[in-house]
Structure 1
Amino acid sequence: MKPPKKTVPLEPPPSCESSIPGPAPAPASSFDPPISFSTVIEDDHRTINSYAARLKKARTSQDRARLLGEVTWRMVRHDISEELIMRPALIAHLGLTGQQMAEHDRLDHERARTELMALFNLGVDEPDFLPRVNALMAELHEHMRTESGEQIPALERMLGPSESQRLGREYIRTFALTPELETLDPAIGLRRRVWATVEEYTCMDSAGFRVVWESLTEEQVCSAMSEYYGSRSGPGRGKGKL
């Protein structure tokens, strides 16, 4: 008779996750069910695509300007999230192939950021605006298809479930990097925005974002994670409403 199979208890998540509402938590669990890295990336892609679709359908100058800003900062944050979390993982687990994937991914995002800033300078009422938006979104769709269909599956095959979930949690933490993020200014003792405008946010390099990311407070991280888990448990679950 074989001895009973030994069960391994679930590793508790980071402290701020214990009180975050998640999708259909197990009755005996007080924290959110783990979510794989690929699931988090797909949710991020859906969010960007959702705003991009709304930008292409916008009819007024005000809506186009607002949605261009929304798509721009979300694309930049997506790029930074990958720079902080995904690309190092690709290199660590896939070696030279992963390094090539990471560099290709980085260059795609650099081109997209350049074009988004060009759209800001062009103006939302110019005749070329919508055709250029459509062309950019087509390129980004192909980029996401490659990422979701080739790069992420290759990475997931090298990860165990716990490592995939850990990377997913780390990626979610980067969702705190929004243009509205505030920090305490010690000179005046008041909170102020890190970036005055979306354009300023977009122009920050990855090193600058890393400094901001490493200085995030527990409260800011928990707020971002709570919003993400809430988006997955509500009526818009899985539809990119982050």
Structure 2
Amino acid sequence: MTLISQAIKHDHRELEDAYNKILSASSPDEQRRWQNQFTWELARHSIGEELLVYPAFEKNLPDGKQMADKDRAEHRKVKQLLHKFQGLKPNDHEFTPTLQSLWSDLSQHIKEEEEQDLVKLEKALQQSDSESLTTKFNRTKKFIPTRSHPNAPDKPPFETVAGLLAAPIDHLSDIFRKFPAESKSEMPP
């Protein structure tokens, strides 16, 4: 079984790969496909953390509430940039600078999360609890929005309701979006 820190780190590497593929793409169509993949991965990952991982911080760590609040604030900023980025076309002059700004904020968040937050959480959890959290995290990502909705609530229980309302529209729209064929991650339906 996989620990929650391993699942989160796996997602982070997928995001980094998609980011690099956007920048190295040889055509606007390829950039658009990787843009869709990056957006899809980041939206699902962020909401999954907000629904399951941040409440686990709050429940299991003495400073968990402060950690979760800090991470939620960082997510808000990233979601706003992702919302802007997901609406841009590869030929827009703001496309690459917006992506780079987004990645700058996101990579700092990832670094802190991997080096501090997840280390503390794993120390506080039993292995079976971490594995169970991973199962719930991966399952939850199948049912939540796949696009950024920065104005949606990010604290329980309201983000759950907002996500359940937005997810079907996002999932339906994904049917008409192009995604890269060579992506390693689970592809949208």
Q: TM-score range by the shorter chain?
A: 0.7 to 0.9
Tell me which of 45, 49, 64 is aligned to 1:82: 49
Superposition map of 1:53-202 within 5 A: 53-95=20-62, 97-177=63-143, 201-202=147-148
CA RMSD after TM alignment: 2.6
Moved over 4 A (4+): 210-213
Tell me which amino acid in the other structure corresponds to 1:208.
A
> How many angstroms apart in 2 are the aligned matches of 1:111 and 1:240?
27
Q: Deviations over 1:52-103 (max 9, x none)?
A: 11111123222222222221121111111101110110000113x1111111
Report the structure number with the largest CA radius of gyration. 1
- Does residue 42 (structure 1) correspond to residue 14 (structure 2)? The answer is no
- 8 Å Cα contact 2:4-2:131 kept in structure 1: yes
Question: Cα–Cα, structure 1 residues 93 and 79, in superposed 2: closer, same or farther, change >3 Å?
Answer: same
- 8 Å Cα contact 2:144-2:163 kept in structure 1: no
> How many angstroms apart in 1 are the aligned matches of 2:117 and 2:84?
28
> How many angstroms apart in 2 are the aligned matches of 1:240 and 1:150?
27
> How many angstroms apart in 1 are the aligned matches of 2:43 and 2:134?
18
TM-score scaled to structure 1, two decimals? 0.61
Any gaps of 5 or more consecutive residues in structure 1? Answer: 1-33, 180-197, 214-238
- Identity of paired residues, percent? 26
Partner of 1:31: none
Deviation at 1:38, TM superposition (A): 1.0
Any gaps of 5 or more consecutive residues in structure 2? Answer: 153-158, 168-182
